[in-house]
Amino acid sequence: MRDILLPKEWYSINRFLKELNQSYSPVVSVYVPISEASNMINTLRETERLPEIEEIEAIIEKRLASKKIYNGSICIFGWNAKEDIVIKEFVVSKALPPVYIVGKKPYTEPLHDILEINYDVLLIVLDHKEAMIRHYKGKDILQHAKIKTYLKGKHSKGGWSQGRFERLRDLQIKHFFNKVKERLKNINLTQIELILLAGPGLAKKEFMQSYINKNVRKKTRIIDGIYFSTPDDNITTKVINALDHLRKQLELQQLQKVEARVKKGLAEKENSIIHTALRTGAVDTLLIASDYYAKTPEENSIIINMIELAEKTSVEVEFITNNEVLEKLHKHGSVVATLRYKL
């Protein structure tokens, strides 16, 4: 899977989020890099406290003060459930910005953001005169470049003949497209899962057919509705929609792989058998439904151990997140392993 977390942490955070569904209003939500915990403690003390959350915040202060490690960030949520104070906390390996919010529900957007499976996407917007290249990681822009040429838009009467003008124009377009192709060499296209070609006119189709090799062309899509004048927010929305479509496609491919292996007796859904198969190196891919929640601590411990074994033995771990694909996966199970050979 392409994301910013190792599978074990992804699974644990996803499970933690489900535990927050039982909260009661008001909820105190705190995020802070552990190295800056003292600053958050001061913020909590300096902020005028509401009587109904005063005791909750006092407990959160103590939790923050007790942390002895300095890497990662701590996420703490607190609420009062039928006169019993509930505190939920989780330490993530990534640096999260400091957040202090009191609301009706837990503020979980930062955790959902780091659970986002981020694919590398290349957006190329071009016509015959200019090009814009953006390299996205998920919805974040990693690189941005613009390329221009001196191509004249139309033939002027007098001086050059129409034929000479057209030949020169074709040479300029070819030179311009080669400049774009050269700029793409600065990007490792093997790491790009999706290339989006956009822009007015026929330039995008011409570039795709003549300047992108067959292997790269397989993951290239022409997308409508993006031009040089398109606002960035609208471009981001289009890229996210394309990403969602890509995720669904890839998850469907994984599901099709499971269905093909089921017919051959090369798939397993029982946790205990999958656990054994992982220890013997028989597992090829481990699929886990994102809505799966282990009912007991023992069951959860087995799942975590399975993911650890998968990581150690280079087994591909995929979390299925698309609702349509999830519904189909559940017909086989919430945790399914495809096998290299029959057990």
Least confident of 187-191, 218-222, 316-320: 187-191
Closest CA to 96 of 62, 64, 71: 71
CB 294 within 8 A of CB 16: no
What phi and psi values does residue 102 have, to the nearest 5 degrees? Answer: -115, 120
pTM over 0.95: no
Q: Are strands 283-289 and 335-339 parallel, antiparallel or unpaired?
A: antiparallel
Which ranges in 264-295 belong to alpha helices (H)?
Answer: 271-279
Alpha-carbon dihedral sign for residues 95, 101, 106, 108 = negative
- 140: its two tokens: 């974040």
According to the model, what pLDDT value does residue 1 have?
Answer: 42
Are 212 and 220 in contact by the 8 Å Cβ rule? The answer is yes
pLDDT band at 113 (very low <50, low <70, confident <90, very high): confident
CB-based contact 199:125 (threshold 8 Å): yes
In this predicted model, what pLDDT tens digit does every residue of 169-186 receive, in sequence order? Answer: 788 888 899 999 999 998
CB atoms inside a 10 Å sphere around CB 264: 10
Whether the pLDDT of residue 87 is over 90: the answer is yes
Three-state DSSP class for residue 309:
helix
Over residues 9-50, the pLDDT tens digits come to 999 999 999 999 989 999 999 999 988 888 899 888 887 777
- Our separate counts of H helices and E strands in the chain read 11, 13
Query: What is the structure's pLDDT at 95?
Result: 85
3-state secondary structure (DSSP) of residue 17 = helix
Backbone angles phi, psi at 106, to 5 degrees: -60, 140
Average pLDDT, the chain: 89
| Over residues 239-266, mean pLDDT | 91
Long-range contact set of residues 57-63: C-beta below 8 Å, sequence gap at least 24: 57/28, 59/85, 59/87, 60/28, 60/30, 60/87, 63/87, 63/89
Torsion of CA 160, 165, 167, 169, to 10 degrees: 150
Going along the chain from its start, the domains and CATH numbers come out as: 7-115 (3.30.960.10), 120-230 (3.30.420.60), 248-339 (3.30.1330.30)
